[in-house]
Amino acid sequence: MPETIILVDEHDEPVGFEEKMKAHENGGHLHRAFSVLVFNKEGKTLLQLRSVKKHHFGGLWTNTVCSHPRKGEELSAAVHRRLKEEFGFDIPLKEQYSFVYKANDPKSGLTEWEYDHVFTGNYDGVPKPNKDEIDEWRWASKEEVIDELKKDPNKYTFWSKLIFEKMFH
C-alpha cells in the first residue's frame, strides 16, 4: 500500500500530501523528513548500509535511520516508529536542528528534496536490523566517519554527509 507523505514549504508548513514515490519523481517536491543518529556510551554512532533494494540511494552508508512522517502522523511518532521498524528498538530522542537539502540519485533518477529534522539518542543494546531495509550495520567513531568521508565520500548518502559535517565539526 503506497505511503502518503507531507509536502511542506520552506518554513516546514504543510502545503499538501503526495504518494511517497511521486514526491521523489521529476525533480521532487519539498517534503517533511527526519534523520536519527544513535550513539553508544563510547560515543560511536550506529550506521546502516541502505539495502540495495531501496528505491533510491540504495547500497550507501547513512545515519542510523532516515524516513518521512506519514499523512496524519506526528513527527515524533514517525521517528520512533521507524527506529523500531528498522533497528528493532526504541529510545528517547531529542531534536537537534533541521535543514533543507536537495539531492538527485543518478541510479534511480529520483530526487530527495527534504525539510529534514535531525534527532539524536543513546543506546547500548544490540540492534535487530530489518533485512528488508538494511544490508549491513556497524558502530563507527566520529574519527572513522570523518576519515571515510575524506577518502570516499560517495559511499555515503548526500544528507548524511551534511549531518555528519554539522554534528562532528
Phi and psi for 35 in degrees, rounded to 5?
A: -130, 140
pLDDT confidence bin for 55, thresholds 50/70/90: confident
Residue 66 appears among annotated catalytic residues: yes
Neighbours of 32 (CB within 10 A): 22
74-103: pLDDT as tens digits: 999 999 999 999 999 999 999 999 999 999
What is the pLDDT, as a whole number, of residue 156?
Answer: 97
132-155: pLDDT as tens digits: 999 999 999 999 999 999 999 999
Catalytic residue among 18, 86, 112, 114: 114
Residue 59 sits in a domain whose CATH number is 3.90.79.10
* In contact, 121 and 38? CB cutoff 8 Å: yes
Catalytic residue among 18, 66, 86, 112: 66
Q: How far apart are CA 66 and CA 163, in angstroms?
A: 11
* In contact, 88 and 71? CB cutoff 8 Å: no
* In contact, 120 and 94? CB cutoff 8 Å: yes
> Sign (positive/negative) of CA torsion 50, 119, 167, 143?
negative
Q: How far apart are CA 88 and CA 81, in angstroms?
A: 10
Domain count, the chain: 1
- 7 grid coordinates: 509536502
Residue 114 appears among annotated catalytic residues: yes
Domain around 90: 4-168
